[in-house]
């Protein structure tokens, strides 16, 4: 997934939260229907898909936060402070 540079955090989360919710539902289903004692069986394919979905969310989130922090740093470095200096009177 590509993260647009100007996407807000709330837009990002709302757009990418659905696959994470589906993944959580899948894992809950597998835990409740395929558990025997302390062990749970889950196909390698399903587990791999769940992990990939979560990894994509985390990677995109980190990219968004990184680009947001860089933008804030650049904006802060562009600011220049003017000192309060009294004008000097030359001559008289």
pLDDT single digits (tens) 20-34:
999 999 999 999 999
What are the sequence ranges of the domains in the chain? 9-32+43-73
Residues with Cβ < 8 Å from 16, sequence gap 6 or more? 1, 56, 57, 60, 61
Helix or strand holding residue 35 (H, E)? strand 35-36
To the question of pTM greater than 0.85 for the whole model, the response is no
Return the minimum-mean-pLDDT range out of 30-39, 45-54, 80-89: 80-89
Query: Where is 39: in which H helix or E strand?
Result: strand 39-40
What do you get for the CA distance between the two ends of the chain, in Å?
Answer: 69
By the 8 A CB rule, do 12 and 3 touch? yes
């Amino acid at each position: 997934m590509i993260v647009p540079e100007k996407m807000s955090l709330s837009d990002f989360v709302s757009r990418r939260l659905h696959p994470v919710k589906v993944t959580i539902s899948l894992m809950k289903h597998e835990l409740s229907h395929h558990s025997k004692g302390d062990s749970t069986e889950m196909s390698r394919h399903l587990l791999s898909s769940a992990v990939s979905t979560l990894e994509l969310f985390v990677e995109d989130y980190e990219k968004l936060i990184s680009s947001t922090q860089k933008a804030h740093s650049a904006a802060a470095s562009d600011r220049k402070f003017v000192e309060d200096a009294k004008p000097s009177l030359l001559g008289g």
